[in-house]
Amino acid sequence: MSHFADVAHLLRRAKNVVALVGAGVSVSCGIPDFRSAHGLYHSVAERFGLSDPQQIFCIDHFEDDPSMFFEFASQIMPQPHVRPSPTHRFLAELQSRRRLLRLYSQNIDGLEKRAGVSEQRTVLCHGSFLTATCTSRACKRRVKGTSIAPQVAAGLVPRCIKCQKNSDDDSGGVLKPDIVFFGEKLPNRVADCLETDIEKADLLLVFGTSLQVAPVSKIPAMFYGHVPSVLVNRELVAGHFDVELLGDCDDVVAALRAELGWHDRSAARYVDDARGAAGAATTNVAYHFVPPKRFLFANVGSEGARRDDPEDQNNSNESEDDGVTNASHTS
Ligand code: OAD
């Protein structure tokens, strides 16, 4: 696939796109990703002096002491003023053009929904802040995320009022946002949707993820061979994609839309984006081809990757998880 037009053609003929996204699609909205040089894990490591910043999402650690997570949680809690990126809107456009079968998102910022992707089309693989559950085994009461938002914003540990009333020491169970921590199971909806989507899909698009967290990191391999697979990311990640579009996802999306001639619908919404990346759809987004399957966009070095080529690291990154529980490949 040596012409960008061929890549666009994959989209033109697709009727059942499966998209898998990670934190990179929200970076242009002002939300840092996790593992980039100035990502959230870098600031968490500095602030809390953690050698492994992923501990902040470790369920054992949370059960021992939830205060560290809640000191940090305001940074990842969805903020009402944040607007979706052009990539989020592109995913919503795929839906409105009846080409989106499913969006699997690892993100907990809710921006895909704000862009207009329906709940039915979305699988929130790592849960969300929409609800929270009391961690007391005797209680397990579920509350709306909005009811704990003020405490989370203030860096405080939210407590279950029902438990507080029943407990002698007035402490009450901790209300944990229903996001999936390391060591917790993914929602059943992930496996349920995959079971049918693997049969129906005709294209896999992967955007803005380092694919370092299992079991989500294993999703692309379920589609290889059945459908064409396209990676859109700033850097190379482990996998065997048919095409690699390396650059900022908003730029790549702009180039794809331009190639497809998709200027008619929602064009104004794209162009008014604060960063202006989608406006590039009407100009030209620079890229060049590196055989056999890589297109390099602006901001990516000529070698095409910011880390060493991860294909060499596949085996050492192999997860030992059970395929369901959230586990990191890096720890
Ligand atoms: P990462 O931070 O691991 O990876 C983000 C990827 O997006 C990196 O490969 C970046 O190079 C790339 N990227 C950043 N900005 C980009 C842009 N503008 N355009 C294109 N690519 C860009 O984030 P995830 O893979 O999403 O878990 O992380 C997976 C999980 O690890 C998260 O869901 C989170 C974390 O622990 C939980 O919250 C439970």
The pLDDT score that the predictor gives to residue 13 is 96
CA distances from 219 to 21, 119, 174, 214 (A): 11, 20, 32, 9
pLDDT at residue 165 in the model: 72
Mutate to test the pocket of ligand 1, among 179, 184, 234, 246 (most ligand atoms within 8 A of CB): 234
pLDDT greater than 90 at residue 57: yes
Q: Give the model's pLDDT for residue 123.
A: 98
Tens digit of each residue's pLDDT (9 = 90 or more) over 272-300: 443 443 333 444 678 999 999 999 997 66
Tokens linked to 310:
């991860």
Residue whose CB lies within 8 A of the most ligand 1 atoms, among 72, 111, 190, 213, for a mutation test: 213
Using alpha carbons, select from 236, 234, 201 the residue that is nearest to residue 219: 201
Q: Which of 126, 226, 240, 288 is catalytic?
A: 126
Question: 25 alpha carbon to ligand 1 midpoint, in Å?
Answer: 8
- pLDDT for residue 167: 66
Region 49-61 average pLDDT: 93
Where residue 329 falls among pLDDT bands split at 50, 70, 90? very low
pLDDT score, position 112: 96
Give pLDDT, residue 310: 43
Pairwise CA distance, residues 43 & 20, whole Å: 26
Nearest CA to ligand 1 atom 32: 106
CA-wise closest residue to 255 among 232, 237, 234: 232
Q: Provide the mean pLDDT of the chain.
A: 86
Do 86 and 285 touch, CB atoms closer than 8 A?
no
Structure tokens at 328: 């990191």
**Highest mean predicted confidence (pLDDT) among 19-28, 304-313, 322-331:** 19-28
3-state secondary structure of 166: helix
Is the pLDDT higher at 105 or at 50?
Answer: 105
Atom of ligand 1 nearest to the CA of 179: 39
DSSP letters spanning 89-100 = HHHHHHHHTT-E
Q: Give nearest CA residue, ligand 1 atom 13.
A: 24
Distance of CA 192 from the midpoint of ligand 1 (Å):
24
Q: Are 114 and 83 in contact (CB under 8 A)?
A: yes
Active-site annotation holds for 126: yes
| Per-residue model confidence (pLDDT) at position 307 | 45
Among protein residues, the one whose CA lies closest to atom 18 of ligand 1: 248
| Alpha-carbon span 147 to 199, nearest angstrom | 40
In one-letter notation, the amino acid at residue 288 is: H
